[in-house]
Amino acid sequence: MQKVRAAVCHEFAAPLVVEDILLRPPERSEVEVTLDAVAICHSDISFAQGAWGGSLPAVYGHEAAGRVTTLGAGVTGLNTGDSVVVTLIRACGTCGSCAGGKPTLCDTPYDGDAGPITTADGGRLHQAMATGGFAEKVVVAQNQVVRIDPAVPKDAASLIACGVITGVGAVVNAANLRAGQDVVVIGAGGVGLNAIQGARIAGARRIVAIDMSEEKLETAKDFGATHGVLGTTDKPWRAAFEALGGRGADAVIVTVGAIPAYDQAPRYLAAGGKIVMVGMPHSGAKSSYEPVVLAALGQGMVGSKMGDVVIQRDIPWMVDLYLQGRLKLDELISGRWSLDQINEAIADTKTGAARRNVIVFDT
């Protein structure tokens, strides 16, 4: 067991505590990764606030990048020193979902209470989202990591682990957007900007961003939105229809966990269109809609977990897009913080102004 520094949640809605924890060596199919960067996702914040329950104490963080430093005895295809993206997608590869090409829906449960980390005195410590990335090092399953070109800066690479694959994948994989179709993206935060990028890359004709902030709408245009509509306006779907040439969208991507956004989403749809549900409200929150309208117009609603990605297929493609200058990553980073500043970084993220704050490690 080795000591590493980590930000630990001991109580929901309380500040994280940076302290020493114990990390065991990787077992047969696991790898140890020394992290260079871990981004702060709103899901980490929601978990730490108790929005979805869970075991405590816990180490959150799941958007990470670093270097492989130790290999389990059964690991193949990776070497120490490899640059990797670390994801939370821990797929068994053999269940029905994995075999059917849906590893994000793997049926095999993971017990974070029995993971590779413990408190400094050997007590139980939950490895949240199968990662526990708010730490100097992690031990994860080999199938959670993807080797990347070392030329990609790790702070930028960390964003691919969740926010980028979730946003781009929601458009490309879940919505199955075809070139020439029209898209509405509700929410122009970190995931929303990536959904906008995904729509641009997929060849969307028009991309309408909806947000409560004029500043975010301007940023959305830098990422590929053709139009921006303030969500505070009266019946914003009417402005979206006008921007789309008098019709609704073929796909509406909801990237925020706000119930009003879900209530309004069907109003932006064209006949035959699809709502892709990405943003995650707190447990117990409910939305309402008229099913007769969706049925009569042949519309649909589908949830998208982690962009429905297959990480060994999709992450290398996205890395190539970045290296070609076709996928923006550096521009998504709002601030870089040390591990000791994690509570300040979380507070800044909660203001809603940040695209992505990244914890960088002095390695």
15-52 pLDDT per residue, tens:
999 999 999 999 999 999 999 999 999 999 999 999 99
Can you give the pLDDT at residue 355? Answer: 87
DSSP string of 144-195, one letter each residue: GEEE--TTS-HHHHHHIIIIIHHHHHIIIIIS-PPTT-EEEEE--SHHHHHH
Q: 45 and 9 in contact (C-beta within 8 Å)?
A: no
DSSP state of 281: P
Can you give the pLDDT at residue 330? Answer: 97
Q: 89 and 62 in contact (C-beta within 8 Å)?
A: no
CA 330 vs CA 39, 223, 336: distances in Å = 12, 12, 11
CA 38 vs CA 83, 133, 338, 345, 358: distances in Å = 14, 6, 10, 12, 6
Residue type, 356: R
CA-CA distance, 43 to 52, in Å (whole number)? 10
Residues 190-229 have pLDDT tens digits of: 999 999 999 999 999 999 999 999 999 999 999 999 999 9
Can you give the pLDDT at residue 201? Answer: 97
> Three-state DSSP class for 213?
coil
Mean model confidence pLDDT for the chain: 96
Sole residue written with tokens 């029209």? 182
Can you give the pLDDT at residue 363? Answer: 54
Can you give the pLDDT at residue 141? Answer: 97
Domains present along the chain, CATH in parentheses: 2-162+308-360 (3.90.180.10), 176-303 (3.40.50.720)
Query: How many other C-beta atoms can be found within 10 angstroms of the C-beta atom of residue 107?
Result: 13
Q: Which of 43, 34, 19, 4 is nearest to 340 (CA)?
A: 19
Residues of the chain with pLDDT under 50: none
Can you give the pLDDT at residue 352? Answer: 82
Contacts for 72 with CB less than 8 Å, ≥ 6 apart: 26, 27, 28, 29, 30, 31, 142
Contacts for 62 with CB less than 8 Å, ≥ 6 apart: 41, 43, 44, 86, 87, 88, 128, 129, 130, 131, 133, 161, 162
Can you give the pLDDT at residue 313? Answer: 95
